[in-house]
Structure 1
Amino acid sequence: MSNKTVVETVTALVEPILAEHNFELYEVEFVQEAKSWYLRVYIDKEGGITLEDCALVSDQLSEQLDSADPDPIPQAYFLEVSSPGAERPLKKEVDYQRALDQYVNVSLYQQIDGHKVFEGYLRQLSPDELTIEYMDKTRQKQVVIPRDKVAKARLAIKF
């Protein structure tokens, strides 16, 4: 079974579990690292996910996977259920919306104003652009970044 098919199957199995508990699916990935396979399910909810939330979803999803016929994942794998983390990637539009006025790290494909990475507050968002307010040495500045220039974006922790 292809990785994409596994992800689609697991997504279909986990979404009703998450809906029952008012959790949301952030991402499902099925990857091989060294010789082991990992099925990672990232979940979230308003106010953040707890360890108990992860254990609950892990137990219920594990039961679903074990009882599915045919087995959606015939090879051995490790199931991991977790939060996307404090420095979660911004992938979907809803992630960007939630990140408004939050501290973010944005990496670019090519430089803008001599920088390839900006870390600051996401102040504005449009379908085509992001506006980041950042500190350049001791001066506060804003940069407008075309979305097609964004290689990666994530929440960041300000120290």
Structure 2
Amino acid sequence: MNLTNRLKEIFERDIESMGYELVDIEFKGGKNNKVLTFFIYNKEGITIEDCEKASAFLDTKLDEIDIIKDSYYLEVSSQDLSRPLKTDRDLERNKDELLKVKLKDGEVFLAKLKEILDDSYIFDIEDKEAREVRKDEIKEIYIEIVF
């Protein structure tokens, strides 16, 4: 199990008990400038105070469990609109949004999510019939920002 998955397993319940959803964790950077970022969500939105509260909790707990030996900078952030949607929960939360779906074969289409199944998604594509796509065929899904 990689570090971010392990951290998600450790902290998901704690973050939920604080009233947030743990959307994702990233650990990036070079040897001397690593950044550990926790992305959190709440349907009412995320404030700076929310990030500070979660950061203080995580900072203390990360020091206690001491599983990251390198030095790093801790960040807590709300989910960025430019980030890909990775989980069924991400997609369910954005069900009414126009999505840009990129498949592994290079095909790209715009659609709204209609239904989440065990191994696939059903998308409503404008002026076309609903389309079922297996989860393992999908490279990335983003919210399509419309101006």
TM-based fold match above 0.5: yes
Shift of 1:31: 2.5
Which letter maps to 2:111? G
The amino acid that maps onto 2:113 is L
Look up the SS of the partner of 1:58 in the other structure. helix
For residue 97 of structure 1, what is the aligned residue in structure 2?
92
Task: Please show how residues 86-125 of structure 1 align to structure 2 within 5 Å.
Answer: 86-110=81-105, 116-125=107-116
Q: For 1:65-124, what per-residue CA distance to the aligned partner results, in whole angstroms no more than 9, with x for missing partners? A: 23x15x22221101111112224422222222222222111101225xxxx211232234
1:83 aligns with 2:78: yes
Q: Is the 8 A contact 2:97 2:112 kept in 1?
A: yes
**What is the alpha-carbon distance in structure 2 between the residues aligned to residue 97 and residue 10 of structure 1?**
19
Any conservation in 2 of the 1:14–1:61 contact (CA below 8 Å)? no
Query: 2:122 is matched by which residue type in structure 1?
Result: L
Q: Which of 36, 41, 58 pairs up with 1:61?
A: 58
Counterpart code for 1:50 = T
Q: Which residue of 1 aligns with 2:121?
A: 129
Distance, in Å, in 1 between the alignment partners of 2:94 and 2:121 is 14
Query: Which stretch has the larger CA shift, 101-110 or 144-153?
Result: 144-153
Runs of at least 5 residues in structure 2 that lack an aligned partner in the other structure = none
Query: CA-atom RMSD, angstroms?
Result: 2.6
> Given the superposition, is the C-alpha separation of residues 73 and 22 from structure 1 closer, same or farther in structure 2, using an over 3 Å criterion?
same
Q: What SS does the corresponding residue of 2:92 show, helix, strand or coil?
A: helix
| Higher-Rg member (1/2) | 1
**Structure 1 residue runs of 4 or more that deviate by more than 4 Å after TM superposition:** none
For residue 152 of structure 1, what is the aligned residue in structure 2?
140
| In 1, Cα distance between equivalents of 2:11 and 2:133 | 36
Q: Which residue does the alignment assign to 2:49?
A: 52
Is the CA contact 1:101–1:121 (under 8 Å) kept in the aligned structure 2?
yes
Against the structure 1 CA distance between its residues 10 and 105, is the aligned structure 2 distance closer, same or farther, given a 3 Å change threshold?
closer
Distance 1:5 1:110, change over 3 A: closer
25, 28, 31: which one aligns with 1:31: 28
Q: Identity, % of aligned pairs?
A: 28
Aligned to 1:137: none
User: Residue 141 of structure 1: SS of its match in structure 2?
Assistant: coil
Q: TM-score, normalised by structure 2?
A: 0.79
- TM-score w.r.t. length of structure 1: 0.74
